[in-house]
Amino acid sequence: MPSSNALSELGEIDMVEDATTLARLLEKNLRENPDNLAVIDSNRRLTYRELNDEVEKTATTLINMGVKKGDKLGIWMPNNVEWTVAWFSITAIGGVVIPMDTWYKPAESEYILGHSDSVGVFINDRSGRADYIAMMNEIWPKLPALKSVIVNGKPAEGMLSFDEIIRNTEIDRKAVDERRKENDIDDVAFILYTSGTTGKPKGAMLSYHNITKNAKAMADILFAKKEDKLLVPVPFSHCFGNVLSITMASVAGMSMYAMSAFDPEEALRVIETEKCTMINGVPTMFVRMLEVLDRKHYDTTSLRTGAMAGAPCPIDIMKGTIERMHCNVSIAYGLTEASPLITMTRFDDPIEKRVETVGRPIPDVEVRIVDDDRNSLPVGEMGELACRGYNVMKGYYKMPEATAETIDEEGWLYSGDLAVRDDEGYISIVGRKKDMVIVGGFNVYPRELEEFYIAHPKILDVAVVGVPDHDLGEIVAAAVIPAPGLEITPQEVVDYSYGKVASAKVPRFVMITDSLPISGRGKVQKFILRKQFQEKIEEGKLKKMVPTAVRQKQKAKEAETLSDRMVSSGKVKTDKKEKLEKFIAGLDDEQEAALEDIMETKRD
């Protein structure tokens, strides 16, 4: 347990099994850490006292607008101070947050705001090339339940200015306090729509109990304390951002720096200038920062820990993060429907467990590995990971059938992830159950192959899928993004794996690309990638690859057959056969075909 007073005194704010509401968390920090910095971005810095003031003004405005307990309001902004204010304001009055990704297009936003029955939404006027006001004007007429749009920036006609709310609203503390008291830990805090990699997004309903206790679990494992400063380059619209960053920071009473978009050099600059002690990120972020440190010095000695999650972490990246960034990072695993944390590595775990597994279950969460009939499997056998505990979502919003498919009558949540538990209780994630490729009866798990390829110095990212094959049923196809400034050929990709992995795992189709189809949750949409491969194969734009070593064996056999024919025809003497075989084996396919054509012509 951390020694932080912010954690040890949580019982004073009506914690039930270490859970509370977001409103009470903010009250706790107003009482205990009023002058501690709460949230920082590139433009503003708010203490907990100042954050609470802006939250109460915004909450008063929402009450005056007629927002009732249980009403839904979207937040469609990049990471910034205003996102945090909106998060605490909506929940302070019993509203339900609908986090929205900044890269959503009008169709996605219309679906989520419509399906969630949102009555309002907080947006930026612009962010990068995205014009949120234009997109809102396009979809607003199609959303009859949506009454209000609050804009961070310059609002359009009919929209409200976030800045004017903060500057001009007179706080109605009595009304806000009455709403705060109505909040219950089992109320839904937010509905987060999942990636929709296989269809329409589903809205996972997460309660205050789910998220505050989950955030505290991470805070405990990382020994978070109010003196810490957390750098958050992951989106607030994801659980990693809003539960394991915003809420965890509030649990510990620490400061948080919100990055609007990840840039590796800017992240390192912030770590150096702000003296950040913690960082949350996905492995790719750490890869990019280590690449910058290869060519430029930044002082990262203030870092002590953080969490890495969201994708497999190569061993060298984990070691580089610890040794070169001075960040004793912990590996976390979870999913939206589990609030999100399920397992995590600890500081005292052996190094091999910290780099090769996703750790052990967090307190008060059960994990089991099951077969296709959902029967528990013994240690060492691979199956689907299921979890049960306080962290399991309340269900999918307006989707009872989908909820019943995911959570059984005993409360077990089935993740869809394939995993193995060892005899010490450590969990290793093998891949997604639905992603498995069956090559002639041999099971291939794309995640395993992706982890293998990500270690290639010329490969930035890779995604593996299965495509139909007449002989084997399915074969492996790999889409590869080359590392910046480097080139890699499909043949190199195939040859890199041949002889190092089972033959069935070697990709037979390779597509070199500059991007992968990514969902709103930042996950590769493999059903789209699979379709792209099939279209290119049918159009003849991709050819089936053969490993160079296999082709050489084939050519040697073909050369032997061809030279035998030439010797038997009397055109070549027997003692010249070996030299002829070497000569033929050195020809490319076109030259060999021409030679055979010449022989056939002479025979005629």
User: What three-state secondary structure class fits 71?
Assistant: coil
Relative to beta strand 413-421, strand 427-432 is: antiparallel
How confident is the model at residue 104, as a pLDDT?
86
Give the closest residue to 104 by CA, choosing from 23, 166, 196.
Answer: 196
Whether 454 and 525 map to the same domain: the answer is: yes
Residue 418 lies inside a defined structural domain of this protein: no
Higher pLDDT, 374 or 129: 374
pLDDT tens figures, 424-477? 999 998 877 888 888 877 778 888 899 889 889 999 999 999 998 887 888 999
- Average pLDDT, stretch 552-578? 74
The beta strands (E) that lie in 483-595 are given as 509-512
Determine the structural domain holding residue 588 and report its residue range: 548-603
Structural tokens at position 122: 């907080």
Note whether residue 361 is domain-resident: no
Confidence of residue 585 (pLDDT cuts 50, 70, 90): low
Q: What pLDDT score was predicted for residue 207?
A: 98
Domain count, the chain: 2
Do 532 and 565 lie in one domain? The reply is: no
Shared-domain flag, residues 499 and 555: no
Query: What are the CA-CA distances from residue 20 to residues 245, 295, 587 (Å)?
Result: 16, 46, 73
481, 493 contact by CB (below 8 A)? no
Which pLDDT score is estimated for 273?
98
Query: How confident is the model at residue 3, as a pLDDT?
Result: 31
Looking at the fold, whether 448 and 529 belong to one and the same domain comes out as: yes
Which DSSP string do the residues of 100-160 spell out, in sequence order?
A: --TT--HHHHHHHHHHTTEEEEEEESEETTEEHHHHHHHHGGG-TT--EEEEESS--TT-E
Contact 208, 189 (CB under 8 A): yes
**397 or 446: whose pLDDT is higher?**
397
Locate tokens 């909506």: which residue? 90
Q: Residue 480: which CATH number?
A: 3.30.300.30
Helix (H, G, I), strand (E, B) or coil at 216: helix
Q: How confident is the model over 348-396, as pLDDT tens digits?
A: 999 889 888 999 999 999 999 999 999 999 999 999 999 999 999 999 9
Dist CA 99 CA 117 (whole Å)? 13
pLDDT at 162: 98
pLDDT of the residue at 436: 80
pLDDT confidence of residue 321: 94
Q: Which pLDDT belongs to residue 11?
A: 34
What pLDDT is recorded for position 598?
61
Give the least confident one: 343-347, 483-487, 584-588: 584-588
Confidence (pLDDT) at 552: 80
- Contact by Cβ (8 Å): 476, 466: yes
Which of 538, 570, 592 is where one domain is finished? Answer: 538
Q: Residue 129: is its pLDDT beyond 90?
A: no
**Paired sense of beta strands 37-40 and 45-47, if any:** antiparallel
Peptide bond into 2 cis (omega under 30): no
The answer to whether residues 523 and 457 belong to one domain is yes
Residues 441 and 485 in one domain: yes
Of 538, 561, 591, at which residue does a domain stop? 538
365: β partners: 389
Burial of 592 (0-12, 13-18, 19+ CB in 10 A): middle
Q: Does the residue 138 lie in any domain? A: no
Q: How far is the C-alpha of 311 from the C-alpha of 316, rounded, in Å?
A: 15
496 and 455 belong to one structural domain: yes
pLDDT band for position 596 (50/70/90)?
A: low
Q: Which of 504, 524, 507 is nearest to 515 (CA)?
A: 524
Hey, which bits of 447-573 come out as E strands? 459-469, 473-482, 509-512
Strand-strand pairing, 330-334 and 305-308: parallel
Residue 409 placed within a domain: no
Per-residue burial over 505-519, b if 16 or more Cβ lie within 10 Å, else e, is: bbbbbbbeeeebbeb
Segment 488-547, tens digit of pLDDT: 999 999 999 998 888 889 999 999 999 999 876 667 888 889 999 999 999 999 999 999
Residues 27-83 pLDDT 10s: 999 999 999 999 999 999 999 999 999 999 999 999 999 999 999 999 999 999 999
DSSP 14: T
Of 454 and 343, the one with more pLDDT: 343
260-274, pLDDT tens digit by residue?
999 999 999 999 999
**Which of 571 and 47 is assigned the larger pLDDT?**
47
> Which of 538, 567, 589 lies at the terminal end of a domain, its last residue?
538
Nearest to 570 by CA among 602, 593, 543, 528: 602
Averaged pLDDT score across all residues of the chain: 90
Instruction: Indicate if 444 and 532 belong to the same structural domain.
Output: yes
pLDDT of residue 583: 76
For residue 346, is pLDDT > 70?
yes
pLDDT tier at 314, thresholds 50, 70, 90? confident
Q: Which amino acid is at 200?
A: K
Q: Is residue 493 located within the same domain as residue 526? A: yes
DSSP letter, residue 242: I
Task: Quote the CA–CA distance of 92 and 24 in Å, as a whole number.
Answer: 9
Same domain, 555 and 514: no
In this structure, is residue 591 part of a structural domain?
yes
More confident residue, 199 or 302: 302
Question: Is position 503 within any domain?
Answer: yes
Q: Is residue 306 part of a domain?
A: no
User: Has residue 82 been placed in a domain?
Assistant: no
Residue 282 pLDDT: 87
How is residue 35 written in tokens? 């002058």
Q: Are 496 and 552 members of one domain?
A: no
**Is the confidence at residue 577, as pLDDT, over 80?**
no
Percent of the chain with pLDDT over 90: 72
Angle at 234 between CA 160 and CA 337, to 5 degrees: 90
pLDDT band at 7 (very low <50, low <70, confident <90, very high): very low
In angstroms, what CA-CA distances link 161 with 104, 231, 240, 295? 22, 28, 28, 43
**Whole-number pLDDT of residue 15:** 40
Say yes or no to pLDDT of 246 above 60: yes
Are both 532 and 552 inside the same structural domain?
no
Three-state secondary-structure class, residue 319: helix
User: How far is the C-alpha of 313 from the C-alpha of 280, rounded, in Å?
Assistant: 14
Reported confidence tier of residue 560, pLDDT bands at 50, 70, 90: confident
pLDDT band at 592 (very low <50, low <70, confident <90, very high): low
